[in-house]
Amino acid sequence: MAAQAGAAQAGYRPVDDELADLYPADRLAAAAGAAARAGLDALLLTPGPDLRYLTGYDTHQTERLTCLALPAGGPAFLVAPRLELRSVHASPAGALGLEIVPWDETDDPYRMVAQRIGHLSAVGLADQMWAARVLRFRDALPGTRQGVASTALRGLRMRKTPAEVAALREAGRAIDRVHAQVPGWLRPGRTEREVAVDIAGAITAEGHATADFVIVASGPNAARPHHGPAGRVLARGDAVVVDIGGTMPSGYCSDCTRTYAIGTPPSDFARYYQVLKAAQEAACAAVRPGVPAEAVDAAAREPISAAGYGEYFVHRTGHGIGLETHEDPYIVAGNAEPLEPGMAFSVEPGIYPGPHGARIEDIVVCTDDGCVRLNNVTRELVIVDG
Ligand code: ZN
Ligand code: ZN
Ligand code: ZN
């Protein structure tokens, strides 16, 4: 029946029940409307999080152009190398009823895009488009002002749908299962790098498609928020900051930090860890719709400053998370944007006085009247028997 075929064309091909609505058919229209409101006549999206968000097509940037063109007023089309056609059709993009325009090795795909969209006064380019492509599009679209697509898409991507929240919850549970195993790998005599290898293996074993980062910062290294695992040998009395995350097959990311102690930690560490835990709690308690993002940062900072550790909390309180580990909204002084239901972000205060440090990080989602945490592994200081 024609009507049924049409419906199947427009709908998403469910891979997993809970995540079946990750790519709703009306998202392209919503994005076109957002582009118009942002003063952009079209969005040009090369592979990356924006393309995946709009179509479900997950592929890497290569020297061959793949580009979704989404005119504010007209139907979208996807220009792709002919050799990638099967992959495009096999992805959720193949079920969106989107016109797919293949190009052959001797074609100029930039001109193909330009000819089809016609003359425009402004286009929004994917924020992570390669500079080389930006310049090719500048040549192909003379007189067209170039901006970034995020001015149109950030509002959509920040407010997670229930299916996106489900995907983030699945990611949160997976990384919680990894943290639950971490105490078993923290042994005196092992190097940070050895522990990191165990953790990276568990990140994929627990369901992630990729392990994106593994911070194992022990002893004095724990005072450096982004320390990468190195050759330092774990010792009794160390505090160890373990900040880990990956990307699930859904495309959604996890990010969770816990701080562990091997044997009895220094007494000043034990004291400020409790301050930190209270600060993280206070920041989560401050989350609800209408509250400015910066108020959550202030809620984390206040108890830390009151206890005299303010100068050692050297980073913002959090960042949005979704198809990217770091995205809008940023939980930082100066961001007065009010929180809204569906916004997902980290709450991760830290105290780094040296020669040790600590951080506690959960992903939370703003609800109608507060927030839910997507990480629920214990926030009590876990003391590993040295
Ligand atoms: Zn970070
Ligand atoms: Zn983190
Ligand atoms: Zn984070």
Strands (E), the chain: 42-45, 67-71, 77-81, 99-103, 122-125, 145-148, 210-218, 239-247, 256-262, 318-320, 327-331, 344-347, 350-351, 358-359, 362-366, 371-373, 382-384
Q: Given pLDDT bands bounded at 50, 70 and 90, which one contains residue 16?
A: low
Residue 243 CA, ligand 3 centroid: distance in Å:
8
Short-list 134, 30, 114, 127, CA closest to 72: 30
What type of residue is 25?
A
Q: Say which range, 9-23, 122-136, 146-160, has the weakest mean pLDDT.
A: 9-23
Residue-wise pLDDT tens digits, 278-295: 999 999 999 999 999 999
The residue-averaged pLDDT of 362-373 equals: 97
Residue-wise pLDDT tens digits, 161-178: 999 999 999 999 999 999
Starting from the CA of residue 346, give the closest ligand: 3
Strands (E), 61-98: 67-71, 77-81
Question: How many Å apart are CA 109 and CA 117, to the nearest integer?
Answer: 12
Short-list 175, 171, 168, CA closest to 342: 168
Residue-wise pLDDT tens digits, 35-92: 999 999 999 999 999 999 999 999 999 999 999 999 999 899 999 999 999 999 999 9
Instruction: State both tokens at 249.
Output: 């097959």
Residue 112 CA, ligand 3 centroid: distance in Å:
40
Kind and range of the H or E run holding 301: helix 293-306
Instruction: State both tokens at 44.
Output: 């040009």
Residue 320 CA, ligand 3 centroid: distance in Å:
8
CA angle, residues 256, 351, 208, in degrees to nearest 5: 10
315 within 8 A of 350, measured Cβ to Cβ = yes
Q: Given pLDDT bands bounded at 50, 70 and 90, which one contains residue 385?
A: confident
263 within 8 A of 299, measured Cβ to Cβ = no
> Which string of DSSP letters, residue by residue, matches 131-172?
HHHHHHHHHHSTT-EEEETHHHHHHHHHB--HHHHHHHHHHH
Residue 156 CA, ligand 1 centroid: distance in Å:
24
Is residue 262 predicted with pLDDT exceeding 60? yes
CA angle, residues 196, 201, 204, in degrees to nearest 5: 125
Neighbours of 71 (CB within 10 A): 21
78 within 8 A of 101, measured Cβ to Cβ = yes
Is residue 112 predicted with pLDDT exceeding 50? yes
Q: Which chain residues have CB less than 5 Å from ligand 2, an ion?
A: 243, 255, 257, 361
Residue 265 CA, ligand 2 centroid: distance in Å:
22
End-to-end CA distance of the chain: 68
229 within 8 A of 214, measured Cβ to Cβ = yes
Starting from the CA of residue 345, give the closest ligand: 3
Short-list 180, 220, 186, CA closest to 384: 186
Neighbours of 269 (CB within 10 A): 22
What's residue 19's pLDDT?
57
Q: What is the DSSP code (8-state) at residue 343?
A: B
pTM recorded for the entire structure = 0.93
What's residue 2's pLDDT?
33
What whole-number percentage of the chain has pLDDT above 70?
A: 95
Residue 318 CA, ligand 3 centroid: distance in Å:
6
Question: How many Å apart are CA 224 and CA 136, to the nearest integer?
Answer: 41
**What backbone phi and psi angles, to 5 degrees, belong to 307?**
-85, 0
Starting from the CA of residue 321, give the closest ligand: 3
